[in-house]
Structure 1
Amino acid sequence: MGAELILYTREGCHLCEQMQRELVILKDWPEFQLRIVDIDEDPALRERFNEKVPVLTLGEDIICCHRLDRHGLAAALRPD
Structure 2
Amino acid sequence: MVVRVTVLTRTDCGLCSAAEQVVAQVSEGRDVDVTFTDIDTDPELKDRYDWDVPVVLVDGRQVGFHRIDPDRLARAIDARQAAKA
TM-score by length of 1: 0.87
Partner of 1:53: 53
Q: Per-residue CA shift, 1:20-68, capped at 9, x if unaligned?
A: 0121122224331110000000110000000000000023310100111
How many aligned positions are there? 80
Q: Provide runs of 4+ in structure 1 moved above 3 Å.
A: none
Calculate the aligned-residue CA RMSD, in Å.
1.5
Letter in 2 for 1:30: R
- Percent of aligned pairs with the same amino acid: 28
TM-score by length of 2: 0.82
Partner of 1:33: 33
- Mark the CA change 1:70 to 1:29 in structure 2 (over 3 Å): closer, same or farther: farther
- Long gaps (5+) in structure 2: none
Counting helix residues as a fraction of each chain, which structure ranks higher? 2
Partner of 1:21: 21
